[in-house]
Amino acid sequence: MRALIEAFPDQLSAAATSMASQPLNQDVPPHENILVLGMGGSGIGGRFLAGLLGDAARVPIASGHDYRIPAWVGPKTVVLACSYSGNTEETLTALDAAIKKGAHIRALTSGGQLAELAKQHGWAVLTVPGGHPPRSQFGWAVTGLLHHFSALGHCPTDSANVLDDVQACAQALRHHRASILDTADRWAEVLNTKSPMLYGDTALEPVLIRWRQQLNENAKRLCNHHVFPEMNHNELVGWESGNKDLAALFLHTEEDHPRTAERMRLCKEIFAKAGAAVEEAQAIGATRLQRWMHLVHLGDWLSLLMAEKTGVDPVDIRHIDYLKGELAKMA
């Protein structure tokens, strides 16, 4: 896993180059909404794009992480099916439902049943390299989805060319490598004896979810995430039981709403008074994609260093393997 995280900037560069060599039909199908299907490491890309394009896309974007699909899916829906292996049970089941409802289908995969279905139906499909843990291929997933969305006419407002922006992300991560590692190492020490509580502006929730998933899978740690200002109306009261066993980690970007930033400042004081460790990180980058990728890479390094400091295998997913094995017996 260390080698894969080390190589993340190179993965972004390779993904951008690869997508540029996989042209998509520019005949945009009439559509009123978009649904991105995916689970786990293949599903986080959909959440990421829905958030990234939240104020730029001309139609609503939703991400689906279930066997079922929303009732509004129909002939004027674009469904993007994402499965790294191509064999994800929930995604294929939801995809079948979308086909039956007449949705326009596109795909992103390394192979498996999804690749076969794409070939059979003639769907627009982007192919990524296989053979790695899906969560480690985040760069390929996001870049592929950006390429799909660009072909559909939906791009970030601050990126003239999404693939060029991905290359710029890679360059920025290489440039800021030392500071990212320094912060990740310092926070890993803090979290050695404390449970992480992740916070950020509402718009940043996809990044917070990525952090939580990486801490779950790589570091084998449970953690919580919430967003401001919503947490001020519920979870804040729960901090009556806050204590020294907790660490509140705040992620910030220059796009934080001014009133939300003030709410977070005041809550940091509350959390510190409860005895919790309070840390914050500011995203760096010229575009939203660059800023979000900066935070994603920081979270990836944090999860790896936490695993290494506690002697756990960041690749091992024995509970998931057991669950899949037991479910296979019931098929």
Instruction: Give me the mean pLDDT over the 111-130 stretch.
Output: 97
On whether both 39 and 131 belong to a single domain, the answer is yes
On whether both 134 and 243 belong to a single domain, the answer is no
In this predicted structure, the answer to whether residue 180 has a pLDDT above a threshold of 90 is: yes
On whether both 180 and 75 belong to a single domain, the answer is no
What is the pLDDT at residue 200? Answer: 98
Q: How confident is the model at residue 25 (pLDDT cuts 50, 70, 90)?
A: confident
In this predicted structure, the answer to whether residue 125 has a pLDDT above a threshold of 80 is: yes
- Given the residues 90, 104, 154, 217, select the one marked as catalytic: 217
On whether both 41 and 90 belong to a single domain, the answer is yes
Instruction: Give me the mean pLDDT over the 59-74 stretch.
Output: 98
DSSP 205-249: HHHHHHHHHHHHHTS----EEEEETGGGGTHHHHGGG--TTEEEE
Q: How confident is the model at residue 26 (pLDDT cuts 50, 70, 90)?
A: confident
SS3 197: strand
CA 129 to chain centre: 18
273 part of the active site: no
**Residue 232 · residue 180 · CB < 8 Å:** no
Q: Name beta bridge partners: 108.
A: 82, 126
In this predicted structure, the answer to whether residue 331 has a pLDDT above a threshold of 80 is: no
Which domain covers residue 49, as residue numbers?
A: 2-158
Give percent of the chain above pLDDT 70. 100
Could you tell me the sign of the dihedral formed by the alpha carbons of 159, 160, 162, 163, in that order?
A: negative
- Flag whether 168 is in a domain: no
What is the pLDDT at residue 234? Answer: 98
On whether both 63 and 130 belong to a single domain, the answer is yes
Q: Which two tokens mark 61?
A: 């974007």
- Flag whether 287 is in a domain: yes
- Flag whether 245 is in a domain: yes
> In the listed set 129, 158, 187, which residue is the last one of a domain according to the structure?
158
Helix residue spans in the chain (DSSP H): 2-6, 8-20, 40-52, 89-100, 112-121, 138-151, 162-175, 177-190, 205-217, 235-238, 258-273, 288-310, 318-330
On whether both 153 and 193 belong to a single domain, the answer is no
- Flag whether 319 is in a domain: no
**Residue 304 · residue 5 · CB < 8 Å:** yes
Q: How many domains does the chain have?
A: 2
In this predicted structure, the answer to whether residue 44 has a pLDDT above a threshold of 90 is: yes
> In the listed set 123, 158, 193, which residue is the last one of a domain according to the structure?
158
Q: Name beta bridge partners: 228.
A: 201
CB neighbourhood size of 328 (10 A): 9
- Flag whether 320 is in a domain: no
On whether both 190 and 291 belong to a single domain, the answer is yes
On whether both 132 and 181 belong to a single domain, the answer is no
- Flag whether 316 is in a domain: no
Averaged pLDDT score across all residues of the chain:
96
- Flag whether 292 is in a domain: yes
Pairing of strands 77-83, 61-64: unpaired
104 part of the active site: no
- CB-based burial label for 266 (10 Å; 0-12, 13-18, 19+): exposed
On whether both 227 and 125 belong to a single domain, the answer is no
What pTM does this model have?
0.96
- Flag whether 165 is in a domain: no
In this predicted structure, the answer to whether residue 76 has a pLDDT above a threshold of 80 is: yes
- Given the residues 119, 244, 273, 324, select the one marked as catalytic: 324
Among 99, 103, 92, 82, which Cα is nearest to 33's? 103
**Residue 127 · residue 109 · CB < 8 Å:** yes
What is the pLDDT at residue 317? Answer: 93
On whether both 34 and 140 belong to a single domain, the answer is yes
CATH of the domain at 191: 3.40.50.10490
Instruction: Give me the mean pLDDT over the 147-165 stretch.
Output: 95
On whether both 12 and 120 belong to a single domain, the answer is yes
324 part of the active site: yes
On whether both 150 and 217 belong to a single domain, the answer is no
List pLDDT tens digits, range 229-279.
999 999 999 999 999 999 999 999 999 999 999 999 999 999 999 999 999
